[in-house]
Amino acid sequence: MIFMAVNTLLFDLDGTLIDTAPDLAYALNTLLKENGLNEKPYEQIKPMVSHGGKALVAMGFDCDESHAEFSKRHQRLLQIYIDNIDKHSKTFSGIDDLLTLIKQRNMLWGIVTNKPENLTHLLLQKLGINPDVVVCGDSLEYNKPHPAPLLYACAKLAIKAEMCLFIGDDKNDMIAGKNAGIKTVAVTYGYGKVEQDWGYDYLIDTVKELEKWIL
């Protein structure tokens, strides 16, 4: 396999850079208990994390946004999560070493996530993570799978799309990258099961495998 030369790595956040599922699962199960319902198994919650808080509420309560209590439940979920955002969340194994290596090589790196700005910046602050650029789900009019967030990140960093890699654990990450003209890397250690029809350019099982692009 030929590995292209790049100067920038862009990451999805939840399930790619940081393992946030434990705290989101805690928030949902706390909310369920507050409403007199049984907790959901962690393995049932984990695949839903990349789809956001509303998806968690819908799954947990088996309802959609038309339910009279949906908005109230969603806001309560977010508050519980904010209060416990760094309770168990941490970078995936190998990420800290990778980010150190990126800086040593004078490369750039950033985060492109559909997570809202307030939650993203709070989490990064709590964990002491300082990317060169952060684009969130409510930073622009569009979010992933639209290519706009990735192209905006490239513009902010003054780099060409072809000199960048986008790493993610969800089909929407791969679609966004392809539409932006950015090579994509799907990770199998994330929250969803990677399928071949995602259209990724590269597939990796561990963070350490990303070092092959850092020259």
- Asked about 14 being catalytic, the answer comes back as yes
Q: What is the dihedral of CA 190, 193, 199, 203, to 10 degrees?
A: 50
Q: Which is the catalytic residue, given 14, 23, 132, 173?
A: 14
Peptide bond before residue 116 is cis, with ω within 30 degrees of 0: no
- Transcribe 59-92 into DSSP letters: HHHT--TTSTTHHHHHHHHHHHHHHTTTSS-EEP
Q: CB-side exposure of 43: number of CA atoms within 13 Å?
A: 1
Q: Is 97 a catalytic residue?
A: no
Sign of CA dihedral 97, 103, 106, 112: positive
- Catalytic residues, by residue number, are 12, 14
